[in-house]
Chain A
Amino acid sequence: AQSVTQLDSQVPVFEEAPVELRCNYSSSVSVYLFWYVQYPNQGLQLLLKYLSGSTLVKGINGFEAEFNKSQTSFHLRKPSVHISDTAEYFCAVTAYTGGFKTIFGAGTRLFVKA
């Protein structure tokens, strides 16, 4: 079975500052990794995904993430955040164990201050 840990429940940051949201996972099989963003009372929107190939993945809204197999991490980064980036961010791991199953982290609340 796989598991996902998002190490920070809340991350306050000033506008135009860089940010990193941390995600670690564990799995006995190969995984696909995702980051989603959720705005209040809305569904999840895919930011980026790692399926295979280059470990540095670029997504929408200027976000990127790096897959580190040895550290089993998939941290999300943005060099300069905006007020509009304030939202909940979820890291997710998908593995195939007789069928595809996705496990979500507990989420990280990014709060961008002016």
Chain B
Amino acid sequence: GAVVSQHPSWVICKSGTSVKIECRSLDFQATTMFWYRQFPKQSLMLMATSNEGSKATYEQGVEKDKFLINHASLTLSTLTVTSAHPEDSSFYICSAHRDSNYGYTFGSGTRLTVV
């Protein structure tokens, strides 16, 4: 149990376009999901906490107008990178917390390359 699906697994887009990444909890309901960003050979940095039915909570330094988060249902959160630039190229990972016995379950990640 506690499976999180993330799609797409990789995407290449042109500079100035927007990209949407989906994160789904397949066998449980997740009122809270988390979005992380990982630069090469670095750890995961929390970008924002996505709350179902309300606005996301962004970490300091993360542009909320740049990284739009929508958590419209208990099983789906989306991250949209708007007007992407090459510096947005990174590995984005979502996670969801089922309950204390499961800890956090992570999606497989999305490799975004902006050219």
| Chain A residues with a Cβ under 8 A of chain B | 32, 34, 36, 41-46, 49, 51, 90, 92, 94, 99-107, 109
| Docked complex: B31-56 residues within 8 A CB-CB of A | 32, 34, 41-44, 46, 49
Pair A104/B103 contact, Cβ less than 8 Å: no
**B: interface residue count bin:** 20 to 34
Residue pair A43, B100 in contact (C-beta under 8 Å): no
Q: Which residues of B contact A (CB under 8 A)?
A: 6, 32, 34, 41-44, 46, 49, 91, 93, 95, 97, 100-101, 103-109, 111
CA distance A86 to B35 in the complex (A): 26
Cβ contacts under 8 Å, B41 to chain A: 107, 109
Chain B interface helix/strand/loop/mixed: strand
Residues of chain A lying within 8 A (CB to CB) of residue B34 = 102
Give the shortest distance, in Å, between B63 (CB) and chain A (any CB).
Answer: 20
Tally A-B pairs: CB < 8 A: 54
A107-B6 in contact (CB<8A): no
The one of B32, B93, B101 in contact with A44, judged by C-beta atoms closer than 8 angstroms, is B93
Of B32, B44, B49, B103, which contacts A32 at CB under 8 A? Answer: B103
Contact, CB under 8 Å: B103 / A49: yes
Contacts of B43 in A (CB 8 A): 90, 104-107
Set A49, A90, A100: member contacting B44, Cβ < 8 A: A90
Q: What chain A residues lie within 8 Å of B100 (beta carbons)?
A: 32, 51
Chain A positions within 8 Å of B111 at CB level: 41
